[in-house]
Structure 1
Amino acid sequence: MLIGCAVNNKDLKKLNFLSQNFNAFALMNQLKPNLTSLGEYQSAQEAIAQINKYTKNIRGSCILWHRNLPVFSLNNSKKFYSWLESLFEFSNQNNLNKWDILNEAIADNGFLRSIWHEYNIIFEAIKTANKYNIKTYYCDYRVHIKSKQEGILELLMSLKKHGLHGFSLQIHYTAERFLLVADRIANFISRIQFMGLEVDISEVTLWNKTGFKPIQVMAYEKLAKLALNANIKTIIFWGYSDRSVWRHPEYRPHPFDLENRPKQCWVNFNRALNISA
């Protein structure tokens, strides 16, 4: 199993430490569309070169996302296709062979966000990635919501016909909430796998909102058991240390504490996976 974390370039100086605890990485912001659509690959190339000293298991995030769009209009097909070609050529040259190609396209009510009503944009992105032998995933969150599940399944059926490889699951919850909805998520995963698609867990943040540490330990254990039962091969934490949290740092969601020491939730997570932490 690949257990990884997302990193920014400021984290690269910690790679020796990180490689002792993780065997995969995701690029958190270095390959977002607002950069790559400008031809800005320097920070990504630097990160990949450093990470490759430890592992080749690197995930790209993300290509199509309504919260971070290319600098040009998506209706400009010439620029759009040129961007895709340059992005996947860069990925191919740097052994970056796994991408979350489309993020959060389905709203909670199960409907496709209006910006993606032109499906050809998505299909073309998948087609271009396949040309470069890059595996593509649709990525979404809050999948415990029934209406959203149905919308995602409908989208996945369409994208699979055009060569999509799988679904990548975001788990951004308070520990308490995750414990309540984990079984619903597990059932949803099984429905996707029944379609013949792979499922990865590509973003994990489990906030400890109450400050009661045993709850967070239980949530991490539940995550491990969910992954094992579903035969999931990849889990990526969206950060590693409570020193650097993308949202609600006061709730300290990550596996390592403010001093980069392993928390009990991390120890128990690895124990549940039968890995020595």
Structure 2
Amino acid sequence: MRKNRILVAAGVALATLGSVASTNLPAETSLKSVFKNDFHVGAALNHRQAMGQDPKAEAIIAQHFNTISPENLLKWGSVHPQPETFNYKPADAYVALGKKHKQFIVGHTLVWHQQTPNWVFEDGAGKAASKEQLLKRMQDHIAAVAGRYKGQINGWDVVNEALNDDGTLRNSKWYQITGEEYLAKAFEAAQKADPKAELYYNDYNMWKPAKRDGAIKLVKSLQDKGLKVTGIGMQGHWGLEHPSIQQIEESIVKFSALGKVMITELDIDVLPNPSNRQGADIDATFDFDQKYNIYTKGLPNEVQQKLARRYAEIFALFHKHRDKISRVTFWGVTDGDSWLNNWPIKGRTSYPLIFDRNYQPKPALEAIVQAVKKKDS
């Protein structure tokens, strides 16, 4: 019955849309105002946006969002490419932009198995670093990066994607060299670097019961050690039909017992994919095949309507659980910015967000607003 109520609200929203190729929203409509009493709404920024080189995107960011995340510029390979070299210029600009617009600023990510240079895991002679070397390197990195933005970045994805879909720990180089210890040491170092910042565990496919249970076990074990884990980030790399609203809801409810719940990296993939892949493992790439790039001249109205309906029902769910959710962040500002144009196949034309390549709102934006207004009325 709960799911039905959410779907009804979403359906009513779609019925008010009129043409699915345009929206009827007043120009001054703002997502951050619509959800001002519920949770932060934001987007991930790319390098050009963070550096102030995309004024049209910045206009959207200023109008609609009260939180921002960095897509790549604070990942280890970007900000700390060599042992004694730090590239802070893009990150400084990103933080300055968030301050300019009085936004909740997120740092992403301190520890991840991807986009981390090989030297981090090596001893200088090309062999694997020792456990002690790697832990010290990680702690020094966190102290430097999180320490630089102490009091400026409000929350950090401390550890990103440390779990397999079955809930076990990923056999990354972090795990191979240090075992489970790196997880606790990472949160300990982040808390020391900025005691007031919120600290998160972030991962994809968190709607899957086994992975959800693994995340709960992991976060609870850290909290039981007295470590600060403010909440859990559920990456929202979802499709038009899967996962189900019920599956997403079950994880929101269960995660909320441990702290704040964030919906991070939200986008809806409308394109067909090889192997029916799910999630966001960036290693799972495929060669270009035209049959997986079917909307090169624009999104058909029928699919546009499905996307709007999907976003409406998802945000109706978020609104229902606004007492548990603290932040919802889209993974990109416009369709043209989305990583899904190049994953899992490079060169595709993707349409996963609520603003199109011309910086215009898609029907999904109005569907979200109308779904929430209906529930509040």
Same fold (TM over 0.5): yes
Q: Secondary structure at the match of 2:245?
A: helix
* Aligned counterpart in structure 2 of residue 126 of structure 1, from 173, 187, 201: 187
| 2:118 aligned with 1:27 | no
Rounded to whole Å, the distance in 2 between the matches of 1:176 and 1:149 is 20
Q: Provide the residue aligned with 1:191 in structure 2.
A: 254
**2:316 maps to amino acid:** K
In 2 relative to 1, CA 17–192 (structure 1 residues): closer, same or farther, beyond 3 Å? closer
Q: Secondary structure at the match of 1:239?
A: coil
Matched length: 271
| 2:276 aligned with 1:215 | no
Q: Secondary structure at the match of 2:187?
A: helix
| 2:45 aligned with 1:7 | yes
My pick for the range that moved more, 158-167 or 210-219, is: 210-219
Structure 1 residue 3 displacement after superposition: 0.8
**1:108 maps to amino acid:** D
| 2:245 aligned with 1:176 | no
Structure 1 runs of 4+ with >4 Å offset: none
- Say if 2:112 and 2:160, in contact at 8 Å, map to a contact too: yes
- Say if 2:207 and 2:250, in contact at 8 Å, map to a contact too: no
**1:27 maps to amino acid:** P
My pick for the range that moved more, 256-265 or 78-87, is: 78-87
**2:89 maps to amino acid:** Q
Render the CA deviation track for 1:209-248: whole Å, top value 9, x for unaligned.
3751121111111221121122212100001211222114
| 2:367 aligned with 1:272 | no
* Aligned counterpart in structure 1 of residue 103 of structure 2, from 32, 52, 56: 56
My pick for the range that moved more, 109-118 or 129-138, is: 109-118
Written as runs of structure 1 = structure 2, the 5 A alignment for 1:45-194 is 45-70=92-117, 71-73=119-121, 75=131, 76=133, 77-92=135-150, 95-115=152-172, 116-117=174-175, 118-131=179-192, 132=194, 133-161=196-224, 162-178=227-243, 181-194=244-257
Structure 1 residue 128 displacement after superposition: 2.2
**1:122 maps to amino acid:** L
Rounded to whole Å, the distance in 2 between the matches of 1:17 and 1:237 is 12
Between the aligned residues of both structures, percent identity stands at 24
Structure 1 residue 120 displacement after superposition: 2.4
Structure 1 residue 40 displacement after superposition: 1.6
My pick for the range that moved more, 197-206 or 222-231, is: 222-231
Structure 1 residue 28 displacement after superposition: 0.9
Q: Secondary structure at the match of 1:114?
A: coil
My pick for the range that moved more, 259-268 or 65-74, is: 65-74
**2:231 maps to amino acid:** G
* Aligned counterpart in structure 2 of residue 202 of structure 1, from 248, 255, 264: 264
- Say if 1:203 and 1:236, in contact at 8 Å, map to a contact too: yes
Structure 1 residue 205 displacement after superposition: 0.8
Structure 1 residue 32 displacement after superposition: 0.3
Structure 1 residue 186 displacement after superposition: 0.6
- Say if 1:129 and 1:135, in contact at 8 Å, map to a contact too: no
Structure 1 residue 254 displacement after superposition: 0.9
Q: Secondary structure at the match of 1:29?
A: coil
Question: Which of structures 1 and 2 has the larger relative contact order (alpha carbons within 8 angstroms, sep 6+)?
Answer: 2
Render the CA deviation track for 1:125-153: whole Å, top value 9, x for unaligned.
21222231221111111123222222122
Rounded to whole Å, the distance in 1 between the matches of 2:339 and 2:163 is 22
- Say if 1:175 and 1:209, in contact at 8 Å, map to a contact too: no
Q: Provide the residue aligned with 2:277 in structure 1.
A: none
**1:160 maps to amino acid:** Q
**1:206 maps to amino acid:** I
**1:128 maps to amino acid:** A
Rounded to whole Å, the distance in 2 between the matches of 1:23 and 1:128 is 27
- Say if 2:335 and 2:353, in contact at 8 Å, map to a contact too: yes
* Aligned counterpart in structure 2 of residue 244 of structure 1, from 321, 337, 340: 337
Higher strand share: 1
- Say if 1:88 and 1:128, in contact at 8 Å, map to a contact too: no
Structure 1 residue 251 displacement after superposition: 3.2
- Say if 1:7 and 1:27, in contact at 8 Å, map to a contact too: yes
Q: Structure 1 unaligned segments of length 5 or more: list them.
A: none
Q: Structure 2 unaligned segments of length 5 or more: list them.
A: 1-38, 122-128, 273-299, 342-347
Q: Secondary structure at the match of 1:188?
A: helix
* Aligned counterpart in structure 2 of residue 263 of structure 1, from 342, 358, 362: 362
Structure 1 residue 204 displacement after superposition: 0.3
